[in-house]
Chain A
Amino acid sequence: MSWIQAAQAGGKAGDQDDVFDEEADESLLVQREWRSHMQRRVKEGYRDGVDAGKAVALQQGFNQGYKEGAEVIMNYGQLRGTLSALLSWCHLHDNSSTLISKINNLLDAVSQCEEYVLAHLKSVPPQPNVGDLLDSIEDMDLCHVVPAEKMDEAKDERLYENNAEFNKNCGNSPSRADCSYLEGCRTQEPAHSANPILPWILEQTASLVTQLGISVDVLQHLKQL
């Protein structure tokens, strides 16, 4: 805002000085009006910025999510397709209805799996931005504490040798705290792949194939599940 004062000073200088002095109250009013106008401009800018940023990021986010969703759910689709193929084979070869109902049950289970995984995928937050992490770590004021605790745990002698230097450095570089934070995130990340009923479905499918007298090779493509 300093320039506003400067502008005013500039305006008052010269032969118009007297006129401004006479209407001092009015100039205060103008000042206030000016300030609220600028605040409004900031808000308008903010709104425009949000719209513009969102427009650009939406597509980017969409592409990211799309890729992830497609890759993960593809495997479940394959499992479903596999079971469907077995089901159609049973129908063609007039297999017993117990096997058919078993396959149908497994198909239902796959659907549940898929819903479960999809729900998790949606709730997983996007990859944390390193800059944001650094900010939040700074906000938490952890960078002095965390490396010190890490030091106690560390059995690496080299670290002890460099102790003094390390402590000196960790004040201005929270990289170590940052690392441990990222590791924490990473351990939580594969939550969507840990599906409780999936191993059971795979096991059941394999035993089903054996019961049908088909080579287990038909399940080769499911190895990545």
Chain B
Amino acid sequence: MADSQDMFDAIVMADERFHGEGYQEGYEEGSSLGIIEGRQYGTLHGAKIGSEIGCYQGFALVWKCLLCSCASEKDSRKMKVLESLIEMIQKFPYDDPTYNKLHEDLDKIRGKFKQFCSLLNVQPDFKISVEGPGLSF
């Protein structure tokens, strides 16, 4: 009786061991596959955010210079909005996909940017396809 119990244990253990050996090998293979695949998606998404935030930043910084060089009383409101936009952009951790308020902050930046554009009375065309093909997950 004790013998058959040992036998049974041995079979279960063997089952586990063979599975484990395959698992180990597969895990390594899967890891490198996952890194490559993940990187491809990640690059596209990061690029999308970087492109958009970079646009706002470039736009805002140039306009700050332009407004500074011809400052008048009327521009003080624009300047205030612009300053807060720049601050929001600089605080935004655009290269961190794990940031939990990513979408929330991004929407705020977009809103602030639109507000500034309407104050300036311009409609910039960045020629970015925000929902462009190839950028979908």
Q: What is the total number of residues of chain A having a CB less than 8 Å from a CB of chain B? A: 77
Residues 38-59 of A at the B interface (beta carbon under 8 Å): 38-39, 41-59
Question: Does A221 touch B at the CB level, under 8 Å?
Answer: yes
Q: Give, as a whole number of angstroms, the nearest-CB distance from A110 to chain B.
A: 8
**Across the interface, do A57 and B47 meet the contact criterion of CB distance under 8 Å?**
no
Interface residues on B, range: 35 or more
Task: Please name all residues of chain B whose beta carbon is closer than 8 Å to the beta carbon of A69 when the two chains form the complex.
Answer: 42-48, 50
**Across the interface, do A52 and B30 meet the contact criterion of CB distance under 8 Å?**
yes
Q: Give, as a whole number of angstroms, the nearest-CB distance from B2 to chain A.
A: 11
Question: Does B10 touch A at the CB level, under 8 Å?
Answer: yes
Question: Does B98 touch A at the CB level, under 8 Å?
Answer: yes
Q: How far is the CA of A51 from the CA of B33 in the complex (A)?
A: 10
**Across the interface, do A68 and B6 meet the contact criterion of CB distance under 8 Å?**
no
Q: Give, as a whole number of angstroms, the nearest-CB distance from A12 to chain B.
A: 11
| Best-buried of A11, A42, A72, A86 by chain B (most CB within 10 Å) | A42
Q: Give, as a whole number of angstroms, the nearest-CB distance from B44 to chain A.
A: 7
Nearest A residue to B121 via CB reads A92
Q: How far is the CA of A102 from the CA of B41 in the complex (A)?
A: 34
| Choice from B10, B26, B44, B46 contacting A48 with Cβ under 8 Å | B26
Q: How far is the CA of A120 from the CA of B58 in the complex (A)?
A: 23
**Across the interface, do B46 and A44 meet the contact criterion of CB distance under 8 Å?**
no
Question: Does B109 touch A at the CB level, under 8 Å?
Answer: no
Task: Please name all residues of chain A whose beta carbon is closer than 8 Å to the beta carbon of B11 when the two chains form the complex.
Answer: 7
**Across the interface, do B36 and A61 meet the contact criterion of CB distance under 8 Å?**
yes
A-B interface, 4 closest residue pairs, ranked by CB to CB distance from nearest:
A77-B54, A49-B26, A61-B38, A81-B58
The residues of B with any CB-CB pair to A shorter than 8 Å are: 3, 6-7, 10-11, 14-15, 18-63, 65-66, 69, 94-98, 117, 120-128
